[in-house]
Structure 1
Amino acid sequence: MSADTPRRIVLLRHAKADWPQVADHDRPLADRGRQEAAAVGLKLAELDIDFDLALCSTATRTRETWKIAAQHLSHRPKTVHEERLYEASLGELIALLNETPEEVSDLLVIGHNPGMHALADALAGRAEGDTLQRLTLRGFPPASLAVLAFTGSWKSVEHGVGTLAGFWTPQDH
């Protein structure tokens, strides 16, 4: 793939988690979270992006979100459960994106806040319509997703490289 290869990154925050007496990493989805995960799965299907790879945090709530959402896709991409996504800083998230194999055009990342919001905000050098205003106003609630487009190598992903092409929250449906 060349330096002018169009690529997309879809950032998905896990759906609403429950707060049982377990370690944070092991928190499951709440009932509302399972409904949100199904709704975001329908939204992903509507986007009709043929993902080449999904990177999913190893946390229980992210794995459950992805399992439910993926049921709505016509093609389930290769999924890598990436422990570095849990509690990742913005710099660590960009470093993970820089490691993406060049044959990947469309990447889905299922992770946590504040990282997903920070990454969407940092990568969005431009925005379509009111997407950036909505991201700023709403934050990045559970089961939200942001679609970022950029051209180039994964190694070139850095602040301001992308266009925020879409932003969706469960409250939008």
Structure 2
Amino acid sequence: MSADTSRRIIVLRHAKADWPNQVDDHERPLADRGQAQAKEAGVWLADSGISPDYVLCSTSLRTRETWKLAVHGLARRPRKTVYEERVYEASPGEIITVLQETPEEYADVLLVGHNPGVLGLTQILAGDEGDPEALNRLRLGGFPTAAVAVLSFTGSWKDVEPGVARLDTFHTPQD
């Protein structure tokens, strides 16, 4: 793929997690509501024609569960899924570093992560570029559980940096 390749970064925040006693944050499971949200996110992705080739998923239990439930709604499975420790509790800058390491053969990457990293990442990559309604909803409502932001840019994965993308769509769950 060349430097003028169109690419998408699909950012999915994990679905609603439970807070069981005596469970480390990394091992928090999805709540019942979160399981429904994750499935709905997968259906929304499929209905929107989004079929990522590559998935970067935090290693936390709630992100892994979100992805495993969402993927069933897709028309086709991604070619590769990577469970990446660096996405857990990552800052936007750390996530950008991980995205820059994406193999060039992939055009659409889905990132399953956590707030505040996913909110910051989406805001930093898009800045003020994109669909005005989506940008406004992101600014006013933050990045709720199981929300999906779809960003696009042209270039190499190594080119991912602040302001490189535009926010095409921002979907929030119906619960």
TM-score bin (small chain): over 0.9
Give the CA deviation at 1:108.
0.3
Match of 1:53 in 2: 54
2:175 pairs with 1:169:
no
1:126-145 mapped onto 2 (5 Å cutoff) = 126-145=129-148
Residue deviations 1:43-85 (CA, integer Å, cap 9, x gap): 1111212311011111000000011111111211121111111
Measure, in 2, the Cα distance between the counterparts of 1:131 and 1:67: 26
Question: Match for 2:166: what amino acid?
Answer: T
Match of 1:108 in 2: 110
Measure, in 2, the Cα distance between the counterparts of 1:133 and 1:50: 25
Measure, in 1, the Cα distance between the counterparts of 2:64 and 2:39: 13
Measure, in 1, the Cα distance between the counterparts of 2:135 and 2:98: 23
TM-score (norm 1): 0.97
Q: Which runs of 4+ in 1 moved over 2 A?
A: none
Question: Match for 1:30: what amino acid?
Answer: A
Residue deviations 1:87-111 (CA, integer Å, cap 9, x gap): 0011100100110111110000000
Match of 2:26 in 1: 25
Worse-superposed segment, 119-128 or 5-14: 119-128
TM-score (norm 2): 0.96
Match of 1:120 in 2: 122
Structure 1: 5+ residue stretches without partners:
none
Match of 2:7 in 1: 7
Residue deviations 1:121-150 (CA, integer Å, cap 9, x gap): 000041123110010011000000100000
Identity of aligned residues (%): 60
| SS in structure 1 of the partner of residue 89 of structure 2 | coil
2:151 pairs with 1:148:
yes
Q: How many residues align?
A: 172
1:71-86 mapped onto 2 (5 Å cutoff) = 71-77=72-78, 78-86=80-88
Question: Match for 2:13: what amino acid?
Answer: R
Contact 2:11/2:112 (CA < 8 Å) preserved in 1?
yes
